[in-house]
Structure 1
Amino acid sequence: MLEDGKKHILIVEDDLEICRLLDMFLRTKGYQVSLSNSGTEGLADIVRLQPDLVVLDIMMPGMNGIEVCKQSRETYTGPIIMLTACSEEISEIAALDTGADGYLHKPLRPHILLSHIEALLRRGKRSKKNDNALSHTGTLTIDTLKRLVTRNNEEIILTGAEYEMLEYLAKQAGIIVSRDECYQALKGVEFDGLDRALDMRLSSLRKKIKDDVAPYQIIKTIRCKGYLFVKQ
């Protein structure tokens, strides 16, 4: 039974020892925790439980985490953090493209995971409070109440992470936002100089809003300074 007032986290992981350790750790931090030990079970639990956040392993037998993430996005809009022991960049790209909001490598450091969890939950809380619509040159519109993005009156389907990046930069329209500032705002932790997730998220976002051919018209990259959402 779920307790009122506590955030609910679902962990989808086939390694029972990792499940046990994360369960104990997150409960000591005041979270409610549910566990799923396979992709098929995890997908069913995401749809049924609608947790506040999902921690999802990629490498699982049967249905892997990429497929779970992709299918769950049909009904689940909460944040998803994906875990993997694989160091290949293509796995990270696939995770973000299918709707993941964060990506962490194993061996997992619980306090780093906790920082990402708290940042994503804060981000969701801020989004719910915002009820203004932002627009760009009459072609790109961001409805922050509905979390809806359109260009030329056509809806653009974004992942949660892509939407948050677009909204954040749009709010700073006309101001250069440094890479460190953007990383801190979107992930809640300081940029370590190595994480490529922000670059891949921006690349994917530009493709979806049809601003992926230089010179960029909506989100510009200012060399050695950061990003600029063009104000017009």
Structure 2
Amino acid sequence: MSAETSIEYSATVLLVEDDLALAAWISDFLHARGFRVIHFSRGDQAAAQWQHSCADIILLDLMLPGMNGLDICKLIRQQSDVPVLMLTAQGEELDEVLALENGANDYLVKPVRPRALLARLNSILRQQQKLQHQQPAQLQFGQLSLDLSSHRVCLGNHEIPLSATEFKLLWFLASHAGTVLSRQQVFLEMTGRDYDGLDRRIDMLISVLRRKLGDNSSQPQRIKTVWGQGYLFVADAWQPL
């Protein structure tokens, strides 16, 4: 038996990165910490073969030859809920918004820092394991229904397409309907770490949810921002507007 097959890995990471030096560094770093790493340097290769990797999580660069990371993420989301951690450019807020809107669970800004990478991977994997052990459940608020087992959201007679990250946020808010959740509580649930006072990803996701669920962005009635306190899912606001 080879050394490769005799090792018991904690999880399999599919790394899609065209910077070969960065990919080698990430692979060595994660392998030393118990991860099995499969690497593709082209987006079209990853799109064609990702299912065969049986990956527990996908670490996906945004800019790739052959096919970009956003299109790969959308393709994956049509077929699987496998977690995706997107690598985005420094200071490019649009990249971060697009990553989340296209189904990424989280994003990591380059240059990649070792401890931050490890923390993000472990946090996402813990959250995924937690979801997998939850019993199927449904929530109903007027015309809004949420199904945890299928990640299906319906508003009236219309199904609302949500990414895995958007569904996770909506489910968390709806599970605490009528309670103001602080930014720290929401950020910790979504990312597994404390809010640093600067990260705006929750604001971005709230904005996306409001748009998709027909809430007024300037005067929201369904998912409210309580200034200085946090976010409030209003249980009785889901009748036709």
Are the counterparts in 2 of residues 47 and 75 from structure 1 also a CA contact under 8 Å? Answer: no
| Residue 72 of structure 1: how far off its partner (Å) | 2.3
Structure-to-structure mapping, 1:1-232, within 5 angstroms: 6-128=10-132, 129-136=134-141, 138-232=142-236
| Residue 5 of structure 1: how far off its partner (Å) | 6.8
The verdict on how the C-alpha distance between 1:197 and 1:213 changes in structure 2, with shifts beyond 3 A counting, is: closer
Are the counterparts in 1 of residues 89 and 95 from structure 2 also a CA contact under 8 Å? Answer: no
- The one-letter code of the counterpart of 1:10 is L
User: Hey, what's the Cα distance between the residues in 2 that align with 1:196 and 1:184?
Assistant: 13
User: Hey, what's the Cα distance between the residues in 1 that align with 2:217 and 2:89?
Assistant: 34
User: Is the radius of gyration larger for structure 1 or structure 2?
Assistant: 2
Are the counterparts in 1 of residues 44 and 67 from structure 2 also a CA contact under 8 Å? Answer: yes
- The one-letter code of the counterpart of 2:62 is I
Are the counterparts in 2 of residues 84 and 105 from structure 1 also a CA contact under 8 Å? Answer: yes
Are the counterparts in 2 of residues 46 and 76 from structure 1 also a CA contact under 8 Å? Answer: no
The verdict on how the C-alpha distance between 1:215 and 1:85 changes in structure 2, with shifts beyond 3 A counting, is: closer
- The one-letter code of the counterpart of 1:65 is G
User: Hey, what's the Cα distance between the residues in 1 that align with 2:97 and 2:216?
Assistant: 17
Structure 1 residues 12-70: Cα deviation after superposition (integer angstroms, max 9, x where no partner): 00111211111122222222211111111121232332411100011223322122212
Aligned-residue CA RMSD (Å) = 1.9
User: Hey, what's the Cα distance between the residues in 2 that align with 1:102 and 1:15?
Assistant: 21
User: Hey, what's the Cα distance between the residues in 1 that align with 2:76 and 2:150?
Assistant: 19
2:198 match: secondary structure: coil
Q: Identical aligned pairs, as a percentage?
A: 37
- The one-letter code of the counterpart of 1:193 is G
Structure 2: runs of 5+ lacking an equivalent: 237-241
User: Hey, what's the Cα distance between the residues in 2 that align with 1:51 and 1:209?
Assistant: 32
User: Hey, what's the Cα distance between the residues in 2 that align with 1:112 and 1:45?
Assistant: 28
User: Hey, what's the Cα distance between the residues in 1 that align with 2:76 and 2:147?
Assistant: 23
Are the counterparts in 1 of residues 180 and 231 from structure 2 also a CA contact under 8 Å? Answer: yes
The verdict on how the C-alpha distance between 1:145 and 1:62 changes in structure 2, with shifts beyond 3 A counting, is: closer
TM (norm. structure 2) is 0.89
Bigger drift between 205-214 and 9-18 goes to 205-214
Are the counterparts in 1 of residues 9 and 36 from structure 2 also a CA contact under 8 Å? Answer: no
1:195 match: secondary structure: coil
Dislocated runs of 4+, deviation >6 Å: 1-5
- The one-letter code of the counterpart of 1:133 is Q
Structure 1: runs of 5+ lacking an equivalent: none
User: Hey, what's the Cα distance between the residues in 2 that align with 1:173 and 1:181?
Assistant: 14
Structure 1 residues 77-128: Cα deviation after superposition (integer angstroms, max 9, x where no partner): 2111111234221111221121111111111112111211122112222222
